[in-house]
Structure 1
Amino acid sequence: MLPCMSEPPTTQLAGDLRIALAKLHRRLREQTRPHDLTSAQQSVLLRLDRDGPATVSALARAEGVKPQSMRMTVASLETMRAVRGDADPNDGRQTLISLTPAFRAELTARRAAKNDWLHRALQAQLSPREHAQLARAVALLQLLADY
């Protein structure tokens, strides 16, 4: 069976999708202070936000880095007052790293700014029919992200 001529080949689709997502990601970053966190810092902060407090060792395993590297990332986040370490109530020898309340509030504000921009862009650029198409595309993107 020949591919439909109106549909791009998978290789082209993959490249177009990557470029579109990267551009959208940059536009969303522009809605908050750009380049204030490294990708490693962002990843750790998002993991702590999503999964809750964790030890440096657990964070290192989850992120696929050496504990020494994770200690440096966590130390930089502590300096920024984004995270703090508290004794594990179940094992006082362990330190649990968690988001500070002030940073959690900042994270919420950043997300709100990005969501506001995206909401306005959706309203201004897309028709109701395109909103429905995008909703279906988001479901497909979630499948790809979970691959």
Structure 2
Amino acid sequence: MTGTDRATLAQDLRTTLGRATRSLRETGGRMGLTPSQSEALGYVHRDGPLTITALARQVGVRSQSMGATVGVLLERGLVTVTPDPRDGRQKVVATTEEATRLVGESRSLREDWLVQRLATLTPAEQQTLADATALLDRLFTEGR
């Protein structure tokens, strides 16, 4: 494959992955949250309790901005905020049972939608997609 062919493949892959991401996001909804609130909640849910500073670094925003985002999540009852036992100046953000329920519900909606979409493919196409998924996983996890 030439450099030009790889560039075209990269563009096509980016476009397709973007479309897939948008479709999955729309299907599972944002749980009534803004994109930044949803992203922050997702990080805390996946990674466990994080300081506001660490969470801001993960998302790529300033700590002050993340503080405002966390404030909304706190008001909605989706996170708790407690002093960091190692550094009282820091605050630790953790998810609540309500957040776990909401994230699980959203995840189930997306997976159910995807199962329905996969059912429209032939068994051979499903196998091709399974093979491609392994390649995509390798592409996006190796060398990080």
Interval containing the TM-score (normalised by the shorter chain):
0.7 to 0.9
- Alpha-carbon deviation of 1:71? 0.8
Matched, 1:102 2:115: no
- Structure 1 equivalent of residue 18 of structure 2: 22
Which amino acid is the alignment partner of residue 75 of structure 1? G
Deviation at 1:64, TM superposition (A): 2.9
Amino acid at match of 1:27: S
Q: Which residue of 2 aligns with 1:145?
A: 140
Matched residue SS, 1:105:
helix
TM-score (norm 1): 0.81
- Equivalent runs, 1:120-131 vs 2, <5 Å: 120-123=116-119, 125-131=120-126
Q: 1:73-92 counterparts in 2 under 5 A?
A: 73-88=69-84, 90-91=85-86
DSSP 3-state at the match of 2:77: coil
| Residue of structure 2 in register with 1:52 after alignment | 48
Post-superposition Cα deviations, 1:5-49, rounded to whole Å, max 9, x if no partner, equal xxx812221222122222222222232335833332222112111
- CA deviations on 1:41-85 (whole Å, 9 max, x unpaired) are 222112111110111112122333221111111112212222121
User: What secondary structure sits across from 1:84 in the alignment?
Assistant: strand
Residues 1:32 and 2:28 aligned together? yes
Measured in 2, the distance between the counterparts of 1:50 and 1:10 equals: 33
For these two proteins, the number of residue pairs brought into alignment is: 140
Provide the residue aligned with 2:59 in structure 1: 63
Q: Secondary structure at the match of 1:96?
A: strand
- What is the RMSD computed on CA atoms of the aligned residues? 2.3
Structure 1 gaps of 5+ residues are none
Larger Rg: 1
Structure ranking higher in helix proportion: 2
Whole-angstrom distance in 2 between the partners of 1:63 and 1:30 = 20
SS at match of 1:30: helix
Task: Return the offset for 1:120.
Answer: 1.1
- State the match for 1:117 in structure 2: 113
| TM-score of the superposed pair, with normalisation by structure 2 | 0.82
Partner of 2:128: 133
Structure 1 range deviating more: 23-32 or 98-107: 23-32
